[in-house]
Amino acid sequence: MPEKTIFQKIADREIPGEIVYEDEQCLCFRDIRAQAPVHLLLVPKKLVVRIGEAEPADQDLLGHLMTRVRHIAEQEGFADAGFRVVINNGSHGGEAVPHLHLHILAGRQLGWPPG
């Protein structure tokens, strides 16, 4: 059995996480090093390593993640003010954790282009 990723350990309650949303397919919790007043990570419970390695069979799961963003934004109260969804992929993308995650950033004016 491959070692669990840090996000699988949060999903399995082996390490703590400030969880704001959960269903049978995904988990959303606060980033431990927030880059904005609101910084959430939305992760599939099933391991998809990164968006650049997603398979056609992951289509429904990826669609589920994308449509859950609206629910979470409304629940957490930043839907109207706006927010950003980011997926880092690989070395140049700044990916550190090899378990697909959507960063959801909100709570301040975000700059563009990103660094």
Residues that bind ligand 5GP (CB under 6 A): 6, 17, 29-33, 41, 88, 94-97
What is the number of alpha carbons within 13 Å of residue 76 lying toward its C-beta?
A: 25
The verdict on whether 101 is a catalytic residue reads yes
Residue 83 Cβ vs ligand 5GP, minimum distance, rounded to whole Å: 15
Instruction: Specify the residue, 61 or 102, whose C-beta has the smaller distance to ligand 5GP.
Output: 102
Instruction: Specify the residue, 80 or 103, whose C-beta has the smaller distance to ligand 5GP.
Output: 103
Residue 97 Cβ vs ligand 5GP, minimum distance, rounded to whole Å: 4
Considering the candidates 71, 99, 101, 103, report the single residue annotated as catalytic. 101
In this structure, what token pair is assigned to residue 106? 């909100």
Question: HEC states along 35-60?
Answer: CCCEEEEEEECCCCCCHHHCCHHHHH
| Counts for the chain of helices (H) and strands (E), in that order | 3, 5
Q: Name the residues annotated as catalytic.
A: 101
